[in-house]
Chain A
């Protein structure tokens, strides 16, 4: 079981290379850390009870609330 949030590093590097990132560039390593951080945010939401809750998508516009 994966303990760290985010994609496995080799999977990330493969996808990053497809987008034009150089796997040998230290920036790509830093990007992997940022991606894992952001994935951890999503993981923090998973335990919440969201049964019956649809995505908000956009907050109500004026005509929807007046």
Chain B
């Protein structure tokens, strides 16, 4: 039973608990056993909360037994990236500087999870202050990818990706400023959504870049992501209820020239195969180029360091020597950016937003790979794709950061594996506040494929 409980999705666990075929205590114990077994080889957790989890599980069990079943997440364990403030529990932000920071209050989304009856099992590893896409962390160790321990989980929500992929947790919360939910989802074989900017409250979430930071779930299926998003939004959101519709007639646009200009051939092949599946389900796939994407990296590079410096100024000037060296450099560089340069980047963002709105007049969603390469190795700085050597950081962020500039919702779902067994992600991008359409499309795709149910060898 222990194994099957950790293999079960959120939706399956919820049904088992509602039917009294298992209990929150059994579910919590199974996941703690799993964490004991595999965490040493993954390193997803910064702080485990085993005792608190068991106490909360017993309380949930009593509540449910007395007829007060709060909903689909009641009694389900989860983890939170360690930048969500948790009252009385340290919140390190993945940094040595905040090793002993204990907030007095919860992040709004932590309270939302508690209200839904979800059980916090631990605080999860991450890139320091969420500023980096690989998930490497010199302070708390770098999480290893459950599909291959020689590879990275991706970041910055690296522990969230590793923990859910390794079946230590059914789902986790992350944040996404340049791809930090979608990249680990892609590299770890998960389904993760960066909702529309502003959809979810960021109170009590340590900021990196205010105009792009977005909270969202990493889960194994689109259905699970919808259930978590329902709880994060509050009653009546209806994302999970809305999954039943198919995608017949859905207009899928592919910015092919930009997205596949440089892509690992196995990633490109898996992506094209995913498009064929979508077509088979009734979607209409066309080319939809957005020329502004070609300049988005520049606008992103200006925006994130300037806002990061504004958020971190006092701390980095005081404690800079205790930061990871690359993170420190990025933040400090923002101290020297001209206001005129920042506003230039913001004007470009508006230009790109207009271009995307025009595109969304012709298609319903954009599709592209989430990352153009599979999971890289720790310490890797450059990567060779089709004979061309590129900086790893630029490649891994290429197709995700463009969407943070405009705040459209974007989702990553597994769409294949390399010959080495590394996951590949399909990214779908939608109109503002059409997060439900993305979840429905991914759900339909997952009814026709089995990439999302495959298990890592760990």
A residues at B contact (CB < 8 Å): 7, 12, 15-16, 19-20, 30-31, 34-35, 37-39, 41-42, 44-46, 48, 50, 53-62, 65-66
Excluding A42-B337, A57-B211, 11 further A-B contacts by CB distance (< 8 Å) are A37-B333, A38-B337, A41-B298, A50-B347, A53-B354, A55-B343, A55-B350, A56-B349, A59-B198, A59-B353, A60-B407
On whether A12 and B336 interact (CB within 8 A), knowing A19-B317, A44-B295, A45-B299, the answer reads: yes
Q: Cβ of B351: which chain A residues have Cβ within 8 Å of it?
A: 48, 50, 53
A20 to B317, CA, bound (A): 8
Counting residue pairs across A and B whose Cβ atoms lie within 8 Å, the total is 106
Contact indicator A60/B432 (Cβ below 8 Å): yes
Contact indicator A54/B347 (Cβ below 8 Å): yes
Residue of A nearest to B335 (CB): A19
Contact indicator B298/A45 (Cβ below 8 Å): yes
Contact indicator A15/B344 (Cβ below 8 Å): no
Q: Cβ of B197: which chain A residues have Cβ within 8 Å of it?
A: 58-59
Contact indicator B346/A41 (Cβ below 8 Å): no
Does B433 make an interface contact (CB < 8 A)? yes
Q: Cβ of B210: which chain A residues have Cβ within 8 Å of it?
A: 58
Nearest first, the 9 closest Cβ-Cβ pairs linking A and B are A59-B407, A55-B346, A42-B341, A41-B298, A56-B349, A41-B301, A56-B350, A34-B333, A44-B298
Q: Which of B199, B334, B343, B351 has the most CB of A within 10 A?
A: B351
Q: Cβ of A20: which chain B residues have Cβ within 8 Å of it?
A: 317
On whether A45 and B345 interact (CB within 8 A), knowing A38-B334, A60-B407, the answer reads: yes
Does B288 make an interface contact (CB < 8 A)? no
B204 to chain A, nearest CB (A): 19
B318-347 with Cβ < 8 A to chain A: 329-330, 332-338, 341, 343-347
A56 to B210, CA, bound (A): 13
Does B196 make an interface contact (CB < 8 A)? yes
Does B348 make an interface contact (CB < 8 A)? yes
Q: Cβ of B199: which chain A residues have Cβ within 8 Å of it?
A: 62
A42 to B374, CA, bound (A): 30
Q: Cβ of A61: which chain B residues have Cβ within 8 Å of it?
A: 198
Contact indicator B336/A15 (Cβ below 8 Å): yes
A39 to chain B, nearest CB (A): 7
A16 to B317, CA, bound (A): 11
List 24 A-B residue pairs with CB atoms under 8 Å apart, sorted by A's residue number.
A15-B336, A20-B317, A31-B332, A35-B336, A35-B337, A37-B333, A38-B302, A39-B341, A42-B338, A42-B345, A45-B298, A45-B345, A48-B348, A48-B351, A50-B351, A53-B350, A54-B350, A55-B349, A56-B406, A58-B198, A59-B196, A59-B197, A60-B432, A62-B199
